[in-house]
Structure 1
Amino acid sequence: MLDIVIDARPAAISAGFNVRRILPFRLRRMVGPFIFMDHAGPVTLAPEQRPNLDVLPHPHIGLSTVSYLFGGQVTHRDSLGVEQIIRPGEVNWMTAGSGIAHSERFEDPATLAGGNLEMIQTWVALPEADEETAPAFANYQPRELPVFTDTGVWMRLIAGSAYGLRNAVRTHSPLFYLHVVLQPGARFGPPQGYPERGAYVAKGSVEVGGRTYTAGQLLVFSPGHDPILLAREASTLMLLGGEHLGDRFIWWNFVSSRRERIEQAKADWEAGRIALPPTDNAEFIPLPHERSKPAGTAAPEPLS
């Protein structure tokens, strides 16, 4: 019924910003096209500590980054010239394709002081035919993301299609991504029709097959099984999955089906051939030289 259960591990995405890292995991690199997943927050900091959270400009290739907030707000700036504040219930979907740089700044002191900042970021690998697509960015408002409710169940479709729901979020391969809130005693099953499916317990706890799983665990379901999740308490889940795209190399912030393409991306970033955001170009994250070779399916985990 469960293929694997992945426990989130601590990771740092900036000098003062620690997160829970779920994907990739050494025994399970991807779920469908999802190759990376971080859960940050809730964060409470004094105003003078805020700059330590900022994620400076850094590059990506071969993937889409997907940001979704439970609370707070984050300012995104990228090399296309986009500047976008994302708030809870919205989706920031940035397709890196052939190469893009972006930053994530936490510029609202009230958010941090109130302990409201909490976000999920995932990376979605691109199909081989789209890995070199032109970079793009889109912000989707809550009104564009359908919501479904039933007894004890609330869910929002972030991207893809599931349970008869669809939205206009542009994806490059068959997938689903949902924010689900369950009341105590509610029963819920993952969407059918996809070979790879997972449920991350962001808050609360759920029972599957007589065993209870708690916050910080990703449940990856075995193909061909349709388990029922029983909420043991008020719980928040992130459901994700889709068609598998094949193996990928992943090194730092680069994802590709070709090892040599990652080497090229490393050289491009070091030589300044990937442009910085025009309104955030005074500093950036340098290439980490301690990781001198690109990694395959058994690679060390990337930094966001």
Structure 2
Amino acid sequence: MSTTQILSGREVPLGGLRAITVRRTLPHRERSFVGAWCFVDHYGPQEVAADGAGGMDVPPHPHTGLQTVSWLFEGEIEHRDSGGVVGGVRPGEVNLMTAGAGICHSEVTTADTSVLHGVQLWVALPDADRETVRGFEHHAPERTPLPKGDDGQDTGSALVFLGSIPGVATSPVTTFTPLLGAQLDLAPGADLSLPLDPTYEHAVLLDHGAVGVDGTELAFGDLACADPGPERMHLVAGPEGARVVLLGGVPFEEEIVMWWNFVGRSHEEVVAYREEWQARGERFGAVEGYVGETERIPAPELPHVRLRPRNRAGRVGG
């Protein structure tokens, strides 16, 4: 890639009364999307005490206009949503929830989790599909080898949970725009020329070890982003190898208004979503079986300014 943009995460609390700290790289003031990926949270490894302290306990909360993608490296989370789904989020298995016109869900670390470590990702739905019905998919991708290096040595393996890496693997999970999501486990010293779809934007999140992306070294938690064009990405792992998350997608050209847990298209729309959540409206439904410190997360107060749309470069529209 000719130019690599490095986004460093900022620490923010995630959840209700017992929030965990996550490193958020998207959205960023310099970039709103990678493809339709509009939100990247990276957390852990974090020790979880026997009483659950240090774990995740996110009471029922709403979403609109997006898909959530949950991917873990360690630990397990119980997911419940207002579509009636109860499922486990486990390492190496992807859970994709489609909010569509509206959904609510809870996320709680299971009792046998001692370390919590993973990523929480959001995908913006295109305007034509953002009023779709609620949905949920679970998929456990097979581990597949990455292309060998020029020296014939193994470079590592991939778990492709969304979309496709050309010549490596393809996921059957449903998306509404062309997307890529994968975990790459790079062998020590791996020198990999990874095939790409040149119509996609791409990003690499460093979770473990050391890696260079097209000649740029990443720090832990950095997100390296690049625009469409290249047909290959050059990855060089450090002496202990590396674990990265690879994201990609066709550029998302629509502007969105993203506030709290809502993705909409206007200030008025987001205000209406908030009011309906506070009024326990039918749009979001209810989560059955959640037991926690509070029944649901109330929406925060709106800022005393008009919410403005953002485009893919991170700039605020009119």
Q: Is the 8 A contact 2:64 2:101 kept in 1?
A: yes
Map of 1:279 onto structure 2: 289
Question: Which digits, 9 at most, give the CA deviation of each residue in 1:152-200, with x for residues without a partner?
Answer: 2210111112213222111111111111011122123362233311111
| Residue matched to 2:13 | 12
Q: 1:160 to 1:250 in 2, by over 3 A?
A: same
2:47–2:55 contact (8 Å) kept in structure 1: no
Report if the CA contact (8 A) 2:198-2:229 is conserved.
no
CA distance in 1, matches of 2:300, 2:266: 20
Taking the TM superposition and a 5 Å limit, the aligned residue runs for 1:129-208 are 129-142=128-141, 145=142, 147-150=144-147, 151-164=154-167, 165-188=169-192, 189=194, 191-208=196-213
- The answer for the alignment partner of 1:289 in structure 2 is 301
Structure 1 spans left out of the alignment, 5+ residues = none
Deviation at residue 241 of structure 1 after TM alignment: 1.3
Aligned with 2:217 (options 199, 209, 212): 212
What's the counterpart of residue 268 of structure 2? 260
Work out the CA distance in 2 between the residues paired with 1:211 and 1:135.
Answer: 40
Are the equivalent residues in 2 in contact too, given 1:190–1:239 (CA < 8 A)?
no
- Structure 2 counterpart of 1:4, which letter? Q
Q: TM-score, normalised by structure 2?
A: 0.86
Q: Specify every segment of 5 or more residues in structure 2 that has no aligned partner in the other structure, as ranges.
A: 148-153
Moved more, 170-179 or 277-286: 277-286
Post-superposition Cα deviations, 1:194-246, rounded to whole Å, max 9, x if no partner, equal 33111111111212454421221111113324441211231011111111222
**CA–CA distance in 2 between the matches of 1:68 and 1:242?**
18
1:46-195 paired onto structure 2 within 5 Å: 46-50=49-53, 53-108=56-111, 110-112=112-114, 115=115, 117-142=116-141, 145=142, 147-150=144-147, 151-164=154-167, 165-188=169-192, 189=194, 191-195=196-200
Instruction: Give secondary structure in 1 for the equivalent of 2:48.
Output: coil
Amino acid corresponding to residue 216 of structure 1 in structure 2: G
- 1:204–1:214: 8 Å Cα contact kept in structure 2? no
Q: Distance in 1 between matches of 2:213 and 2:95?
A: 32
Between 1:77-86 and 1:2-11, the stretch displaced more is: 2-11
Sequence identity (%):
35
1:259 Cα deviation from its structure 2 partner: 3.5
In structure 1, C-alpha distance between the alignment counterparts of 2:143 and 2:303, rounded to whole Å:
42
- 18 and 179 in structure 1: CA distance in 2 versus 1, 3 angstrom threshold: same
How much has 1:51 moved relative to structure 2? 8.1
Q: Which has the higher helix share?
A: 1
Deviation, 1:6, is 0.3
